[in-house]
Amino acid sequence: MSVSATSPAVADPALSEFLNRSGLVKPGEGVQLVPLTGGVASDIFRVEVGERTFVVKKALARLRVAQEWNAPVSRNASEVGWFIEAQRAVPQAVPDILAHDPALGLFAMTYLDPAHHSIWKNELRDGRVSAGFAAAVGQAVVAIHEATARSAEVARRFSNDETFHAIRLEPYLEATARRHGDLAEELCALSRDTLRRKLALVHGDVSPKNILAGPAGPVLLDAECAWYGEPAFDLAFCLNHLLLKCVWKRQHAAQYLASFDALAAAYISGVGWEPPEAVEARAARLLPALFLGRIDGKSPAEYITTEADRERVRRVARHLIASRPKRLSHIRDQWAKEILP
């Protein structure tokens, strides 16, 4: 294998070893690696070998954020496992895994051409907001939860409490608690309660930046946070992004809120492993905490840039955390009063 001299892989022998060991590249073949942007937790490359193109991903031990944020690289193997489980439930909604080497912490998957698979975050930014697509996201996520709910075997394979705590609960809830002492007891209790609940296979990062709008519907990527636990976390995490987008592009706020309603309704209607209202109540408790976490946690939303907007989120989130709503529509209505003309 010969790698392009301009490629970052020149400095990473593990990547070259993976490509050779997996059989994805044969001896003597020329390889071009193009770094892909957008993530803070992994090195990701588009690999071009002759007429073949695929993606290789390697987890980082220290994430690329301003505050110190470390995470186990073993999450790479869990991400592969999540893709395999998800494909059984929603085969059209995940890429194919081509090769995986747990020892090296690398895997390869199919490359999805941006010409036909746009990033949902970009669609939302540019005003191409579809409530129908949001509903399809909700349907895909709940189908994965339903397919894995109360499975002792899946629970055993994704017993990733340490990783989930390190890259989700600590940076979003507990770090925020340190900034809001009067809410610390509630936020830390919420972190503990979430970690204790073991019900279904959770993606952990259902965000518009990790979802492609493909010809057959949504495609979910970046399952590094995969964990067997609280399915309400995935629902709340994704809905949180739709609330935050209302600050980013105020002119599309009504459409974002319509997508919020569509995604929530589609998800709740697919819950079969427990009473749907129980999942909704837990998601409604998580949502305002995650909302505040994207202002004062370790991963602040990069597009909320003014202190006035940050204070707007804080004001609504703090009130909702204290009042503990049980319905997602209540959170949506409170935010609509704040953000709509």
pLDDT in tens, 57-104: 887 655 444 454 555 556 678 899 999 999 999 999 999 999 998 888
Tokens describing residue 115: 């010409």
Q: What is the reported pLDDT for 44?
A: 86
Q: Look up residue 193 and give its amino acid.
A: D
Burial of residue 225, with CB atoms counted within 10 A of its CB: 0-12 exposed, 13-18 middle, 19 or more buried:
buried
**pLDDT of 22 over the 70 cut:** yes
Specify the higher pLDDT residue, 1 or 178.
178
**pTM of the shown model:** 0.90
Q: What is the mean pLDDT of the chain?
A: 91
CB-CB neighbours of 312 under 10 Å: 18
CA distance 280 to 299: 25
Contact 226, 204 (CB under 8 A): yes
Task: Work out the average pLDDT over 22-51.
Answer: 82
3-state secondary structure of 202: strand
Q: Where are the alpha helices (DSSP H) in 70-222?
A: 75-89, 120-125, 131-148, 152-157, 161-164, 175-179, 184-196
Q: CATH classification of 118-339 is 3.40.50.2300, yes or no? A: no
Tokens 């990783």 appear where? Answer: 163
Sheet holding 217-220, edge to edge: 118-119, 211-214, 217-220
CA distance 84 to 99: 12
Nearest-5° Cα angle at 205, 202 to 211: 110
Domain ranges of the chain: 2-110, 118-339
Q: What is the reported pLDDT for 40?
A: 57
Tokens describing residue 126: 């540019």
pLDDT in tens, 130-162: 999 999 999 999 999 999 999 999 999 999 999
Tokens describing residue 335: 């935010």
- The CATH T-level fold of domain 2-110 is Phosphorylase Kinase; domain 1 (3.30.200)
Tokens 């339903």 appear where? Answer: 146
Task: Work out the average pLDDT over 264-269.
Answer: 98
Q: What is the reported pLDDT for 39?
A: 58
Q: What DSSP assignment string belongs to 35-46?
A: EPPS-SSEEEEE
Beta bridge partners of 211: 220
Tokens 């199919």 appear where? Answer: 110
Percent residues over pLDDT 90 in the chain:
77
Domains 2-110 and 118-339 share a fold: no
pLDDT band at 27 (very low <50, low <70, confident <90, very high): confident
**pLDDT of 2 over the 50 cut:** no
